[in-house]
Amino acid sequence: MTDDKRRKTRRTARCPVCNAPARRETRPFCSRRCADMDLGRWLTGAYRVPTDERPGDGPGAESDGDGSYSDNNA
Ligand SMILES: [Zn+2]
């Protein structure tokens, strides 16, 4: 009874991707396609986030110390 009432509520979640009414099976998205799209966005963003990668980690760090020493030497 109460469940039926709740199901008929007008409150409808909106798909964050295309703003269409979300479906129960693919909440909070309207379809699996939108869910995949959102997931893809997350993955792409994660890939773009710089983590431990440092450009020229080896030679760069060494050059820094070497440069200081070299400057002192010269
Ligand atoms: Zn959608």
Domain map (residue ranges) of the chain: 12-49
pLDDT confidence of 6, banded at 50, 70, 90? low
Separation of 48 CA from ligand 1 center, angstroms?
24
Phi, psi for residue 14 in degrees, rounded to 5: -105, 145
Q: What is the pLDDT of residues 16-71, one digit of tens each?
A: 999 999 999 999 999 999 999 998 988 888 766 666 666 666 665 555 555 555 56
Separation of 18 CA from ligand 1 center, angstroms?
4
Separation of 20 CA from ligand 1 center, angstroms?
5
Global pTM value: 0.46
Domain 12-49 has CATH 3.90.79.10: no
| Ligand 1 ion: nearby residues, β-carbon < 5 Å | 15, 17-18, 20, 30, 34
